[in-house]
Structure 1
Amino acid sequence: MATEHQAPKRVAIRDGLLTEPLDDLAKVRLQGSRCRHCNEVTLGRNAICPNCGGIDMDPVALADHGELWTYTVVRHKPPGDYRGPEPFKPFGLGLVELPDGLRVVSPIEGDVDSLKVGTPLRLKISVHHTGAAGEDVVAFAFAPRL
């Protein structure tokens, strides 16, 4: 009797950070919240507006593209529970401005020596690592638009 291989469960690296479901990663976006009082947009699912303190927040899917506003290159392996590639490879860490003006801190994929402020970027959603219970942990990064 043949048994089917069941794909591991997928979970977001942080609750409320990504739209769901996570089964088709090409359709997943960053999750945001928009305040009904002041129209402030924030990253993640939030119950309270950090701008005005309002409690009427609507979920919104954020744009899948943006522009590199500023960045740095991480050239040394971060301390602690680092879950990136081994051996360590330098990576970009940038502030990505989305079309609505929201700026998001994100890893930037690609050649770190060719990063430039103003570079058009696209959202990439992927399995980042395997969690302690065997689940696929899904995270985001941005990469140059081709």
Structure 2
Amino acid sequence: MTESLNDLLNSISVLERSDTKYYKLNDFHSALNKMYGEAVELSDTIITPFYICDSGILEIYDYELNIRLVDSHNKEALILTKTGKKSINEVNPEIVQKLTNCYLEIVKPQRVLLTNILEKYVDYVKTSPQIKERISEYLHEFDNEKLYFEVY
């Protein structure tokens, strides 16, 4: 039987602040590793990363994972719409990489995604030099253990 994303989330650490549930990114990564290659049932979902420390909470909104149920794939159109460009060749390759890693389409009626695809996103967030640099600049620290996420 295929697990839902909620089932998977219920198996990892939660930090509750102001009626918001933040899930530890490293725990999510471990849970995905245990289920590598298995399917997880989803609907339209947004996973937004946060860095939470004594100094505060930093939302890393531009690295949120947007998972959409669609009638057909059209990632190139999304990239052109987001960037306002007319050709994919006009888009900075770093922006293409970010949008490719932070947007997933599941063609209807399918509602499942393999855990290794979610794990690829988690790896991208955990190893992003841009995220590490931003957090270090604003909060003067960086520790992978302080990466969390919220699900919408």
Query: Per chain length, whose mean CA-contact separation is higher, i.e. which structure has more relative contact order (CA < 8 Å, sep 6+)?
Result: 2
Of Structure 1 and Structure 2, which has the larger fraction of its residues in strand? 1
Of Structure 1 and Structure 2, which has the larger fraction of its residues in helix? 2
Same fold, TM-score > 0.5, yes or no: no
TM-score by length of 2: 0.27
Higher-Rg member (1/2): 1
TM-score by length of 1: 0.28
